[in-house]
Amino acid sequence: MPTWNSRGLRGSTLEEFINRTNERYRENHLALIQKVPTPITPIKMDKESRHITLAYFEQKSTVDYIGVVQGIPVCFDAKECQVNTFPLQNIHPHQVEFMRDFEQQGGIAFFLIFYPHLDRFYYLPFRQLAQFWERMQQGGRKSFRMDELDETFFFTGHSGLLVPYLDALQLDLNLRD
Protein backbone atom coordinates (compact mmCIF):
# COMPACT_ATOMS: atom_id res chain seq x y z
CA MET A 1 0.00 0.00 0.00
CA PRO A 2 1.45 3.43 -0.87
CA THR A 3 2.50 5.65 1.96
CA TRP A 4 2.23 9.38 2.32
CA ASN A 5 5.96 10.09 2.30
CA SER A 6 6.53 7.83 -0.73
CA ARG A 7 4.81 10.46 -2.87
CA GLY A 8 6.39 13.44 -1.19
CA LEU A 9 4.63 16.72 -1.81
CA ARG A 10 4.18 16.18 -5.53
CA GLY A 11 1.41 18.45 -6.81
CA SER A 12 1.17 20.46 -3.57
CA THR A 13 2.01 23.73 -5.33
CA LEU A 14 -0.64 23.11 -7.98
CA GLU A 15 -3.19 22.30 -5.28
CA GLU A 16 -2.29 25.47 -3.40
CA PHE A 17 -2.81 27.51 -6.60
CA ILE A 18 -6.19 25.85 -7.13
CA ASN A 19 -7.16 26.38 -3.48
CA ARG A 20 -6.39 30.10 -3.75
CA THR A 21 -8.35 30.33 -6.99
CA ASN A 22 -11.29 28.56 -5.34
CA GLU A 23 -11.17 31.04 -2.45
CA ARG A 24 -11.43 33.92 -4.93
CA TYR A 25 -14.31 32.21 -6.77
CA ARG A 26 -16.11 31.79 -3.43
CA GLU A 27 -15.48 35.41 -2.38
CA ASN A 28 -16.95 36.56 -5.69
CA HIS A 29 -19.95 34.18 -5.36
CA LEU A 30 -18.99 32.36 -8.57
CA ALA A 31 -18.41 28.86 -7.19
CA LEU A 32 -18.19 26.84 -4.03
CA ILE A 33 -15.51 24.19 -4.51
CA GLN A 34 -13.90 22.19 -1.73
CA LYS A 35 -10.76 20.10 -1.56
CA VAL A 36 -11.66 16.50 -0.79
CA PRO A 37 -9.44 15.32 2.07
CA THR A 38 -7.67 12.01 1.61
CA PRO A 39 -8.10 9.91 4.76
CA ILE A 40 -4.76 8.73 6.14
CA THR A 41 -3.64 6.69 9.11
CA PRO A 42 -0.45 8.03 10.73
CA ILE A 43 2.35 5.51 11.28
CA LYS A 44 5.19 7.76 12.50
CA MET A 45 5.13 11.21 14.02
CA ASP A 46 7.93 13.62 14.83
CA LYS A 47 7.65 13.99 18.62
CA GLU A 48 9.03 17.53 18.71
CA SER A 49 7.04 19.10 15.87
CA ARG A 50 4.04 16.74 16.15
CA HIS A 51 4.08 16.39 12.34
CA ILE A 52 3.18 13.16 10.60
CA THR A 53 6.27 11.75 8.90
CA LEU A 54 4.83 8.45 7.63
CA ALA A 55 1.24 7.42 6.98
CA TYR A 56 -0.77 5.17 4.71
CA PHE A 57 -3.90 5.94 2.75
CA GLU A 58 -6.99 4.37 4.34
CA GLN A 59 -8.96 4.18 1.10
CA LYS A 60 -8.76 5.14 -2.54
CA SER A 61 -9.64 8.76 -3.14
CA THR A 62 -12.00 9.66 -5.95
CA VAL A 63 -11.28 13.25 -6.99
CA ASP A 64 -9.34 16.17 -5.54
CA TYR A 65 -12.18 18.71 -5.68
CA ILE A 66 -15.97 18.72 -5.64
CA GLY A 67 -18.57 21.44 -5.46
CA VAL A 68 -20.97 23.60 -7.39
CA VAL A 69 -20.57 26.37 -9.95
CA GLN A 70 -23.67 28.52 -10.42
CA GLY A 71 -25.93 25.58 -9.61
CA ILE A 72 -23.94 23.03 -11.66
CA PRO A 73 -22.30 20.16 -9.75
CA VAL A 74 -18.64 19.74 -10.66
CA CYS A 75 -15.81 17.44 -9.67
CA PHE A 76 -12.24 17.46 -10.86
CA ASP A 77 -8.79 16.13 -10.22
CA ALA A 78 -5.52 18.04 -10.58
CA LYS A 79 -2.42 16.53 -12.16
CA GLU A 80 1.03 17.78 -13.15
CA CYS A 81 2.88 16.65 -16.24
CA GLN A 82 6.58 17.47 -16.65
CA VAL A 83 6.71 16.43 -20.33
CA ASN A 84 4.45 16.69 -23.38
CA THR A 85 3.09 13.14 -22.98
CA PHE A 86 0.68 12.36 -20.14
CA PRO A 87 0.78 8.74 -18.88
CA LEU A 88 -2.69 7.37 -18.18
CA GLN A 89 -1.26 5.36 -15.29
CA ASN A 90 -1.51 8.66 -13.36
CA ILE A 91 -5.29 8.23 -13.45
CA HIS A 92 -6.85 5.32 -11.59
CA PRO A 93 -9.78 3.17 -12.73
CA HIS A 94 -11.83 4.08 -9.65
CA GLN A 95 -11.43 7.78 -10.56
CA VAL A 96 -12.68 7.15 -14.09
CA GLU A 97 -15.62 5.16 -12.72
CA PHE A 98 -16.51 7.90 -10.21
CA MET A 99 -16.32 10.64 -12.85
CA ARG A 100 -18.42 8.60 -15.30
CA ASP A 101 -21.07 8.08 -12.59
CA PHE A 102 -20.88 11.78 -11.65
CA GLU A 103 -21.56 12.84 -15.24
CA GLN A 104 -24.41 10.33 -15.57
CA GLN A 105 -26.01 12.11 -12.60
CA GLY A 106 -25.87 15.45 -14.47
CA GLY A 107 -22.59 16.78 -13.10
CA ILE A 108 -19.50 17.99 -14.95
CA ALA A 109 -16.25 16.07 -14.41
CA PHE A 110 -12.82 17.11 -15.66
CA PHE A 111 -9.10 17.10 -15.01
CA LEU A 112 -6.89 20.15 -14.65
CA ILE A 113 -3.44 19.30 -15.96
CA PHE A 114 -0.55 21.65 -15.30
CA TYR A 115 2.44 21.55 -17.66
CA PRO A 116 5.01 23.45 -15.53
CA HIS A 117 7.72 23.36 -18.19
CA LEU A 118 5.35 25.40 -20.40
CA ASP A 119 3.58 27.28 -17.59
CA ARG A 120 0.24 26.24 -19.11
CA PHE A 121 -2.86 24.52 -17.82
CA TYR A 122 -5.17 22.19 -19.69
CA TYR A 123 -8.84 21.59 -18.93
CA LEU A 124 -9.43 17.96 -19.90
CA PRO A 125 -13.18 17.26 -20.16
CA PHE A 126 -14.13 13.81 -18.94
CA ARG A 127 -15.49 12.85 -22.39
CA GLN A 128 -12.02 13.43 -23.88
CA LEU A 129 -10.32 11.46 -21.10
CA ALA A 130 -12.85 8.65 -21.68
CA GLN A 131 -11.72 8.43 -25.33
CA PHE A 132 -8.06 8.13 -24.33
CA TRP A 133 -9.01 5.62 -21.62
CA GLU A 134 -11.02 3.47 -24.04
CA ARG A 135 -8.17 3.53 -26.55
CA MET A 136 -5.83 2.24 -23.82
CA GLN A 137 -8.35 -0.45 -22.78
CA GLN A 138 -8.49 -1.62 -26.41
CA GLY A 139 -4.71 -2.11 -26.46
CA GLY A 140 -3.72 1.31 -27.79
CA ARG A 141 -1.47 3.99 -26.35
CA LYS A 142 -1.18 4.15 -22.58
CA SER A 143 -0.73 7.91 -22.75
CA PHE A 144 -1.86 10.93 -24.71
CA ARG A 145 0.30 13.54 -26.35
CA MET A 146 -0.13 17.27 -26.04
CA ASP A 147 -0.70 17.55 -29.79
CA GLU A 148 -3.83 15.35 -29.39
CA LEU A 149 -5.43 17.95 -27.14
CA ASP A 150 -7.90 20.66 -28.17
CA GLU A 151 -5.94 23.93 -28.20
CA THR A 152 -8.98 25.92 -27.02
CA PHE A 153 -8.84 24.23 -23.60
CA PHE A 154 -5.30 25.42 -22.81
CA PHE A 155 -5.07 28.43 -20.51
CA THR A 156 -2.77 30.43 -18.24
CA GLY A 157 -3.35 32.54 -15.16
CA HIS A 158 -4.98 35.95 -15.62
CA SER A 159 -6.97 38.64 -13.77
CA GLY A 160 -5.17 37.84 -10.53
CA LEU A 161 -6.32 34.19 -10.65
CA LEU A 162 -3.65 31.50 -10.57
CA VAL A 163 -5.77 28.74 -12.19
CA PRO A 164 -8.80 30.42 -13.84
CA TYR A 165 -10.58 27.24 -14.91
CA LEU A 166 -14.13 28.67 -15.02
CA ASP A 167 -13.55 30.04 -18.54
CA ALA A 168 -12.71 26.53 -19.77
CA LEU A 169 -15.67 25.11 -17.86
CA GLN A 170 -17.94 27.60 -19.65
CA LEU A 171 -16.48 26.52 -23.00
CA ASP A 172 -17.13 22.88 -22.04
CA LEU A 173 -20.74 23.73 -21.13
CA ASN A 174 -21.24 25.58 -24.44
CA LEU A 175 -20.01 22.55 -26.38
CA ARG A 176 -22.45 20.27 -24.54
CA ASP A 177 -25.53 22.21 -25.69
- Residues that constitute the known binding site: 62, 64, 77, 95
* Helix ranges restricted to H, the chain: 12-27, 93-104, 126-137, 166-176
Binding residues for Mg(2+): 62, 64, 77, 95
Instruction: HSE, CB side, 13 Å, CA atoms: give it for residue 65.
Output: 29
Helix axes 93-104 and 126-137, enclosed angle (nearest 10) = 130
Kindly give the pairing relationship between strand 52-57 and strand 143-145. unpaired
